[in-house]
Structure 1
Amino acid sequence: MTGPWFVLVESNTTGTGRDFAEAARRHGLRPVLLARSPARYPYAAELGLDVHETDTASAASVTAVCRRLLAAGLAGITSSSEYFMHTAASVAAELGLPGPDAAAVARCRDKATQREWLSARAVPVPDFLVCRSSALAHEAARAMAVPVVVKPVAGSGSEGVRACADPDTAADWAGRLLAGDTTGKVLVEREISGPEYSAEVVDGEVAGVTAKHLGARPYFVETGHDFPAPVAARVAERLAAVARDAVRALGLVTGPAHVELRLSDRGEMYVIEVNPRLAGGLIPRLVRYATGRDLVGEVVAGLSGRPVRPAGGVDRHASIRFLVPSRSGVVREVTGLDLARALPGVVELSCAVTAGLPIRIENSFTDRKGYVIGVSGDAETAGEIADRAVAGIAIEYRQPGSGRRDRTTQ
């Protein structure tokens, strides 16, 4: 294939990682994956991608590879992984390529800095304190009148995020996070009760609002999404307005953003966090099924200097439910996949669980071992399709003296 290069710095192992490469090709670009361990990405071989084994933890190494590609024609650089968005933005700026403001990306990546920045600019965020010790976390939880949420300042995918019902629990969890954290700080914030949503943003404008389903407390594992969110138009408009205010306040007006919000029981809206990337959890695919818009393609076009022409014309609802095992163990058998796949309205099903697979519950996005996407003309039916399909998948564990099955239900 000829055409200018489009660099992907690392990737998601599934989902939008592959989608970015395919979108680049649709735009006449030559996707090239820069990765420390290319074998982590089976889709690269499946698509026949050009791959450069590179120390992606070093911006200088990424820059050096991109400079070599620049001589042959380099249109843009990005990542589908939040951990490498700042590197991509910094290298793009150094080489004069399109991209988000690197300083804005850095502000987003540090959740403490992000909170302080938004609060100072009157964007509604939960009460919070940045704590550098478990004693300070204890005091913060006491002062905020628990429950609180304690989280790392540089995580992703709900890793390390926990609700804490009392100051002692908050102090204990903060101590655990600080013991394995290089930043030396954690974020303690007042928990906002009420439903969670996200706004999907491209170049500062909201493409739509997603409703989220969460697993059991005290953790915040996302077990499903519905797009568009089944809420009144005025609620969706308010959520979108707050999300726009947040990305503009942060200076993140070029490229993608994924803004997570909570609607309190009293109807108040709060920004939980702004991520300088497209949504994970295959939300961009839900958007495409529901509206016809290709958010991944729009981002690739914008970051390679091509015209961004949002398409649409589809008016449907799409829901995803994740296969989330409820306990650890070694898998003996998985059943129900064919029946789930054959259900009317199921457009995608993927399952990474196979016989012999050891499962360990981490209470983060890594617990999701598969998914089902259902599509329909109305929100309720789309959700019911996805719920029914994933509920029909059963995991049986290899456990002496027990034939018990762990059926995943949402």
Structure 2
Amino acid sequence: MARRALILVEGHARGNGLLYVKAAQRLGLHSITLAADPACYDYLAEEQLEATCVDTNNLDALIRECSRISATYDIAGITGFVGHDESVYARIGKLCRHFDLPGPNPEAIERCSDKFVQRQLLAEAGVPIPAYRMASNVSEIESSAGAIGLPVVVKPVTGSGSNGVRLCRNVDELVDHTNYLLGGEQIGRFPPRILVEEFVEGPYYSAGIMGNEVIGISAAAFGPPPHFVFREATCPAVLTDDQYERIVQVSLRCLRALNLGWGPTDIEFRWTKLGPVVIEVNPRLSGPPDPQLVHLAYGVDLINEHVKLVIGEEWDLRKRHSYVAAARKLTPERDGILNWIEGGNRAAAVSGVAEVKFYVQPNTPIVRKGDYRDCIGHIIAASPTRARTEAMLQRAVDFIEWSITPFPTNE
């Protein structure tokens, strides 16, 4: 009898990839990663995992490779990671459909991944969202910002991880960022479709959803503007019963409006004087540390349960306990060469600390982009009380130190 395999399309360098592999192993599955460049994911080589180089932007190439694998293995399921291009996840849905395996609705994923289309569908359903316009050049963006009113958030219509997202507080910043998106290093990366949005202020929350069930609502904070780089997150968020219920109800309206509800979804909110306003709906599992926070807070392993769904088994979303879990991202204060980073072992030894992870090694160039890539590591802690979790996390963070030598100037 052929061994059962889980196909993972692309990897996830900062945490989720290896967690999916370990979930597959617990379920008796052999994981096989299909990636355009498997060397991008260190854990594949470190764990001696099977990986194949294939053009993951080409559905036909993926079908051919999975057909080849099926001659040796029984393919139990197919899933994967979006990276910066959510069209990968839609392609996974098409791949699942081709092989008659459980998977997400690819058409729904494609519609949701286009932020302009997503907002149109949410607006039609009466879901509270920021005022928005789409533009393709400097003149249109200036006009859109004038109609909405500064400050505005300017972002590419596609993408993830806050890539290309910036708060523009005046006309100079607006023109600057527009030129950045439309030219220079952005050529070929973003299409000339740019979203201009009202800047909605208020506490930030995210709802972690599996199927049609909200599993947990987290609170998070960002680093300094004009960028939106996550600095810390806590699960569960401090909410009144009314606030919690209103976020749940708006989340379910989003799922209906976008025809989602299979597998994981992550919905981002700002809480305003009018209640929850939807900033973004992500038709996928959020990246680390969110799944780990939910697991520590409630005993629900979203990755394990997602793999069960992918292979056609019944999942179990029952909460086992109620803890408070929190994470702090490690973000450098300058660009340059990372000389050293230390304190990981001492931080990990703090009672209640669940994970200390560094994303970079010494002698790595640090060039901040204003997105998720600015983070060089994270620390996660959990305990039965909020005060204790916060204290343990801060104690662990205080152990971490690093040194960065600025790049030489031309002066």
TM-score (norm 2): 0.92
Letter in 2 for 1:51: A
2:80 alignment partner in structure 1 = 79
Q: Note the alpha carbon deviations across 1:26-79, whole angstroms, 9 max, x for none.
A: 222221100111111222233332212111121111111122334542121111
1:64 alignment partner in structure 2 = 64
Separation in 2, partners of 1:315, 1:125: 31
1:33 alignment partner in structure 2 = 33
* Contact 2:207–2:216, Cα closer than 8 Å, also in 1: yes
* Contact 1:142–1:167, Cα closer than 8 Å, also in 2: no
Give aligned pairs, total.
Answer: 400
1:408 alignment partner in structure 2 = none
Q: How does 1:118-133 map to 2 (within 5 A)?
A: 118-133=122-137
Q: Post-superposition shift, 1:396?
A: 1.9
1:350 alignment partner in structure 2 = 357
1:261 alignment partner in structure 2 = 269
1:150 alignment partner in structure 2 = 154
Q: Note the alpha carbon deviations across 1:319-338, whole angstroms, 9 max, x for none.
A: 01011101111123334334
Whether 1:360 and 2:367 are equivalent positions in the alignment is yes
Letter in 1 for 2:259: G
Whether 1:160 and 2:164 are equivalent positions in the alignment is yes
Whether 1:274 and 2:281 are equivalent positions in the alignment is yes
* Contact 2:209–2:266, Cα closer than 8 Å, also in 1: yes
Whether 1:326 and 2:327 are equivalent positions in the alignment is no
Which secondary structure state, in structure 1, belongs to the residue aligned with residue 304 of structure 2?
A: helix
Q: Indicate which of 93, 99, 102 corresponds to 1:95.
A: 99
Letter in 2 for 1:16: N
Moved more, 115-124 or 326-335: 326-335
Q: Post-superposition shift, 1:193?
A: 0.4
Which secondary structure state, in structure 1, belongs to the residue aligned with residue 321 of structure 2?
A: coil
* Contact 2:35–2:52, Cα closer than 8 Å, also in 1: yes
Q: Indicate which of 259, 264, 282 corresponds to 1:251.
A: 259
* Contact 1:351–1:370, Cα closer than 8 Å, also in 2: yes
| Cα distance change of structure 1 residues 166 and 400 upon mapping to structure 2, 3 Å threshold | closer
2:223 alignment partner in structure 1 = 215
Q: Post-superposition shift, 1:232?
A: 2.0
Superposition misfits of 4+ residues, deviation over 6 angstroms: none
| Cα distance change of structure 1 residues 354 and 97 upon mapping to structure 2, 3 Å threshold | closer
Aligned-residue sequence identity (percent) comes to: 34
* Unaligned residue ranges in structure 1 (runs of 5+): 402-410
1:196 alignment partner in structure 2 = 204
Whether 1:224 and 2:232 are equivalent positions in the alignment is yes
Q: Post-superposition shift, 1:19?
A: 0.7
Letter in 2 for 1:318: A
Separation in 2, partners of 1:155, 1:92: 23
Q: Post-superposition shift, 1:2?
A: 5.9
1:371 alignment partner in structure 2 = 378
* Contact 2:150–2:170, Cα closer than 8 Å, also in 1: yes
* Contact 1:352–1:370, Cα closer than 8 Å, also in 2: yes
Letter in 2 for 1:157: G
1:185 alignment partner in structure 2 = 193
1:405 alignment partner in structure 2 = none
2:11 alignment partner in structure 1 = 11
Separation in 2, partners of 1:348, 1:77: 28
* Contact 1:150–1:164, Cα closer than 8 Å, also in 2: yes
Letter in 2 for 1:119: A
Separation in 2, partners of 1:226, 1:15: 18
1:313 alignment partner in structure 2 = 320
Q: Note the alpha carbon deviations across 1:211-261, whole angstroms, 9 max, x for none.
A: 111000111001111011122232122112211211221011111111111
Letter in 1 for 2:13: T
Separation in 2, partners of 1:393, 1:7: 37
| Cα distance change of structure 1 residues 183 and 275 upon mapping to structure 2, 3 Å threshold | same
1:293 alignment partner in structure 2 = 300
Moved more, 150-159 or 47-56: 47-56
Letter in 2 for 1:15: G
2:54 alignment partner in structure 1 = 54
Separation in 2, partners of 1:113, 1:329: 39
Separation in 1, partners of 2:407, 2:278: 47
Moved more, 37-46 or 275-284: 37-46
Q: Note the alpha carbon deviations across 1:98-145, whole angstroms, 9 max, x for none.
A: 111100100121111111111111111100001111111111111112
* Unaligned residue ranges in structure 2 (runs of 5+): none
TM-score (norm 1): 0.92
Whether 1:105 and 2:102 are equivalent positions in the alignment is no
Q: Post-superposition shift, 1:400?
A: 10
* Contact 1:32–1:50, Cα closer than 8 Å, also in 2: yes
Which secondary structure state, in structure 2, belongs to the residue aligned with residue 298 of structure 1?
A: helix
Q: How does 1:396-407 map to 2 (within 5 A)?
A: 396-398=403-405
Q: Post-superposition shift, 1:169?
A: 2.4
Moved more, 236-245 or 208-217: 236-245
Moved more, 70-79 or 202-211: 70-79
Q: Indicate which of 239, 244, 248 corresponds to 1:236.
A: 244
1:171 alignment partner in structure 2 = 175
**Aligned-pair RMSD on alpha carbons?**
1.9
| Cα distance change of structure 1 residues 69 and 400 upon mapping to structure 2, 3 Å threshold | closer
| Cα distance change of structure 1 residues 17 and 353 upon mapping to structure 2, 3 Å threshold | closer
Letter in 2 for 1:74: I
